[in-house]
Amino acid sequence: MEYATFGAGCFWCVEAVFQEIKGVESVVSGYAGGHVDNPTYKQVVTGLTGHAEVTQIQFDPEELSYEELLEVFFGTHDPTTLNRQGNDVGTQYRSIIFYHNKEQKEIAERVIDRLDRSGTWKDPIVTEIVPFTEFFKAEDYHQNYYRNNPSQAYCRLIIRPKLDKLKRTFTLKLDR
């Protein structure tokens, strides 16, 4: 098994998307990239801890490549908006890739270069690529949020359309 750690706005959205992908063994919502040990959600949402809301994805590289994970990552959020995804605004919602090894860094750089040259977005990608250092698991009520709260308004209005897009757009095998 290998790990990927991504931030792409609200971790509820990212978690729900990657839980649908065959080859993903687990997805845990949490915080990374800041300067406070064991931050709480209340601290992170202030934007003062430096953390991003992220998901840590454990995946089987025999079933799913890191590059395929990146295709889903870039295809399910807007990587051209700095510190913002929809109504979620602040550095805690930045688009960020925490690479776990040199190969992941090189793949991420290559994918970003290819996407920027493709004209997929009119603006350049602003996704940060930084080394993974530490991950702090978010509070239990943030875990499996969409699966536990599918009728909640945010889930219906924001997450459900991302999942619908995933099913329409990607040729990866989905678990559900």
Report phi then psi at 149, rounded to 5: -140, 45
Buried b (16+ CB within 10 A) or exposed e, 50-72: ebbbbbbbebeeeebebebbbbb
**Do 116 and 75 form a contact (C-beta atoms < 8 A)?**
no
Nearest to 11 by CA among 29, 32, 28: 29
Q: Kindly list the catalytic residues.
A: 10
Burial, 171: exposed, middle or buried (Cβ in 10 Å; 0-12, 13-18, 19+)? exposed
